[in-house]
Structure 1
Amino acid sequence: MKVGVIGGGQLGQMLAQAGTSLGMKFVFLDPAKDACASALGEHVCANYDDQEALQQLAKEVDVVTFEFESVPAETVSFLSDYVPVFPNAESLRIARDRWFEKTLFKSLDIPTPDFANVESQTALENAVIKIGLPAVLKTRTLGYDGKGQKVLKNQSDVTNAFAELGGVPCILEGFVPFSGEVSLIAVRGKNRAIRFYPLVHNEHRQGVLHLSVASEQHPLQATAEAYVTKVLEKLDYVGVLAFEFFEVDEGLKANEIAPRVHNSGHWTIEGAVTSQFENHLRAIAGLPLGATQKYTESAMLNFIGAIPSAERLLSIESCHLHDYSKAFKPGRKVGHVTVCCKTMDELKQKTQAIEALMSH
């Protein structure tokens, strides 16, 4: 099978690594000449809205997927006329727009923060009266890793906030006093079978995911699975989907979904029976889904901007390095490690040792 991937970053790279053992070949469409996934397949260097390049891709492959939601939904819709594309265009349209996303959650009775659509400074001021402060103003599209948002703590923060985020359509969300952040990685096949990975505890630094730890029989696992099932079935979704939640006193509140393989699921490469990447490919290819249980206690640490010495990292037993072969730049995800241990105490010790290397 030949798989087309819109986007040639590290997620595409890891999809190809997982698919090679299944006998799959890959074609990546990405405007960047140095797309890191291109070493693992053919590279169509073109913009995501280049219809001629999209038609070329469709002729070469059996199925298409995408590695991030900045891809226009129109691109997926266009491709769907020529080749099967999973997840579908409607899933992408909703997931890339926070207003559509939160509206979907509300319609499915999934708890969310209070929210309001904001398309002007006046609308923002009215929304603040309704929702109150503190609150978070976010662009409806294209915001990720802490970008495209501003925390509004007092009235002075509200002044000119709409213009500060570019004067584009936004959403105001009530601030959630949460005790933790978790995500659930799920996969749904063409036959509507659904598998769930264990809930993952996430720690962010400066808006970017720093550490993910697969949990031990989280008491809210079943609650999260019920919410995610509603979304998967409503969207007739095929592939891996990540759902991020806030942990609150009464349970979980929805933050956002990502219609793709996800950073918080990287631990599954070494830590689960079947990685999220292999299960995504199984789903879109119509193959049986793999088991999602974790082998060991597992965690993932992101490297932002630079990667510590490989020699020092690999001297830590049970540490698996994933270098994306990307140029080091401040704020850029350039690699990660997964850590697999027999006990949670050992896992904590190993992750702290890696964090010490990162601080030098």
Structure 2
Amino acid sequence: MTSLIKPGKTIGILGGGQLGRMMALSAREMGYRIAVLEPKPDAPTAQIADVSVEAAYDDRKAAKQLAEHCDVLTYEFENIDADTASFLENTMYLPQGSKLLYTTKHRVREKQAVQDAGVEVSPYRPVSSVEALENALQDIGCPAVLKTCQGGYDGKGQVVINEDTEIKEAFQELAAQTTDLVVEAWIPFEKEISVIVTRSTNGETAVFPVGENIHKNNILHQTIVPASISSETEERAREMACRLAEKFELVGTLAVEMFVLDEETVYVNEVAPRPHNSGHYTIEACATSQFDQHVRAVCGWPLGSTELLKPVVMTNILGEDVSYVLDNLAEFAEGHVHFYGKQDAKTGRKMGHWTVLGATRNEAMATTEKVWRERMDTE
């Protein structure tokens, strides 16, 4: 075994959100201490960390302070500063490296890297002007989605263009943030799925069961496992994820979101080099959670089993859902409620999630739908 980080050592986490929190909880169970760099006070990860450095991600002095406490470093999401990660990579042990972080922070670089690995993505064009956008849409057609190349999540930083008359307004809306934009073809998919693959410092690879994702208002609402896809499509999706992990020389976790058009056609939509919202179901439903697996991977442990113990439905709890969940906890008792320690329950903000297991997929869905249908009736 190489680069084994033993229990009792300190894992540093760049980013203090809910992914870092759940990563830290897994690490604590395995005997590690936690340090975190995060600009927001009382962040979800900071609440359970041994050391919290409260500073901007591009603060080099703060990065050095974090490094002084850590034996190994990881990151919880890709919108942290890639230059800081590169700086820290030269001063301490960052097994994930900064290269993949740099690639996935930018949508065009990401899509080019996926294509270079021999995996299909939906048609796209980089654009930096109204004229370039008009020319791009002549190639890929309408409808299409205009997105910022950096930042943006849960539907932020993107505009759907349905017809030519909307081009100028769409460009001006996003160009107010940046002119570094990309336009993507609208894909008439049958299903959205995601595959989470983990690769350790020892080169061992493990893949979690394929999740079927349901979005509402461009925010992930539910992940259902097993996905209702053919065994051939499932195998194709797993192979695509593993190919990317190998080509990217992944260490840690990679979430690969995909569009399923039909049994013959699967496109990669986005990738994320860290644990993912669509993998939260693994905490209760798999032999090893995505967070346990990530810690194992970066610390040089053997990877755990990804066996699905029971069919499962994971539902996100957004800011507008919090009061209902807390007022009706008895209704949610058949599942597992997780809250992330965030203070401001804003509309559309992910505040927690609820996981329901069942003897069958249909049973898990029926239990979830009954409670959530009552939630919808209150609106």
Shared fold, TM over 0.5: yes
2:155 is equivalent to residue 146 of structure 1: yes
Question: How far 1:133 moved relative to its partner?
Answer: 1.1
Change (3 A) 1:218 1:273: farther
Is the 8 Å Cα contact of residues 225 and 361 (structure 2) preserved in structure 1? no
Offset of residue 293 of structure 1: 0.8
The answer to whether the Cα contact below 8 Å between 1:316 and 1:350 also exists between their aligned partners in 2 is no
Deviates more, 1:254-263 or 1:66-75: 66-75
> Quick check: 1:310–1:321 contact (8 Å CA) kept in 2?
no
**Corresponding residue number in structure 1 for 2:35:** 27
Match of 2:248 among 210, 223, 235: 235
Query: Greater CA deviation, 273-282 or 92-101?
Result: 92-101
Report % sequence identity.
Answer: 37
Would you say 1:325 and 2:369 are equivalent positions? no
Amino acid of the structure 1 residue aligned with 2:206: R
**Contact (CA 8 Å) 2:257, 2:271: kept in 1 or not?**
yes
In structure 2, give the amino acid aligned to 1:46: A
Question: Which one of 243, 257, 266 corresponds to residue 271 of structure 2?
Answer: 257
The amino acid across from 1:119 in the alignment is S
| Residue aligning to 2:166 | 157
1:132 to partner: Cα distance: 1.2
Q: Give the superposition deviation at 1:358.
A: 3.1
Alpha-carbon shift at residue 317 of structure 1 (Å)? 4.8
TM-score by length of 2: 0.92
In the alignment, which residue of structure 2 is the partner of 1:204? 215
Q: 1:214 corresponds to which residue?
A: 225
Structure 1 segments of 4+ aligned residues over 6 angstroms from their partners? none
Does residue 335 (structure 1) correspond to residue 343 (structure 2)? The answer is: no
Measure the CA separation in 1 of the matches of 2:24 and 2:115: 36
CA contact (8 A) 2:331 2:371 kept: no
> In structure 1, what residue type is equivalent to 2:108?
W
Which residue pairs with 2:134 in the alignment?
125
- The more displaced of 253-262 and 101-110 is 101-110
CA distance in 2, matches of 1:129, 1:343: 47
| Alignment of 1:352 onto 2:369 | yes
CA distance in 1, matches of 2:332, 2:276: 25
State the shift of 1:214 in Å: 1.2
Indicate the residue corresponding to 2:202 in structure 1: 191
- Kept in 2: contact 1:313–1:319 (CA 8 A): no
Are 1:224 and 2:234 matched, yes or no?
Answer: no
Q: SS of the counterpart of 1:337? A: strand
Give the Cα separation in 2 of the matches to 1:195 and 1:4: 24
Aligned to 2:117: 108
Task: Determine which of 314, 330, 339 is the counterpart of 1:300.
Answer: 314
Q: How does 1:1-40 map to 2 (within 5 A)?
A: 1-40=9-48
Shift of 1:298: 1.0
> 2:359, 2:143 → 1: CA distance?
42
Distance 1:358 1:85, change over 3 A: farther
Would the aligned equivalents of 2:198 and 2:294 in 1 still touch at CA under 8 Å?
Answer: yes
Tell me how far apart the structure 1 counterparts of residues 309 and 328 of structure 2 sit (CA, whole Å).
25
- 2:329 corresponds in structure 1 to 313
Q: How far 1:161 sits from its partner (Å)?
A: 2.1
What is the letter of the counterpart of residue 242 of structure 2? T
Q: Distance in 2 between matches of 1:174 and 1:331?
A: 25
How far is 1:222 from its partner?
A: 1.6
Task: Give secondary structure in 1 for the equivalent of 2:328.
Answer: helix
SS of the equivalent of 2:45 reads helix
Displacement of 1:203: 0.4
Task: Tell me if 1:90 matches 2:99.
Answer: yes
Tell me how far apart the structure 2 counterparts of residues 255 and 211 of structure 1 sit (CA, whole Å): 17
The answer to whether the Cα contact below 8 Å between 1:135 and 1:152 also exists between their aligned partners in 2 is yes
C-alpha deviation, 1:315, in angstroms: 4.3
2-structure distance, mates of 1:237, 1:143: 23
Which amino acid is 2:337 matched to? L
> Structure 2: any 5+ residue segments left out of the alignment?
1-8
Aligned-partner residue type, residue 146 of structure 2: L
Note if contact 2:149-2:181 (Cα within 8 Å) is conserved in structure 1.
yes
Which secondary structure does the structure 2 equivalent of 1:160 belong to?
Answer: helix
**Helix, strand or coil at the partner of 2:236:** helix
Which letter does structure 2 place at the counterpart of 1:324?
Y
Contact 2:95–2:201 under 8 Å retained in 1: no
1:271 equivalent in structure 2: 285
Unaligned runs of 5+ in 1: none
Q: Distance in 2 between matches of 1:357 and 1:9?
A: 30
| Greater Cα offset, 213-222 or 189-198 | 213-222
In the alignment, residue 45 of structure 1 is paired with which amino acid?
E
Tell me the equivalent position of 1:80: 89
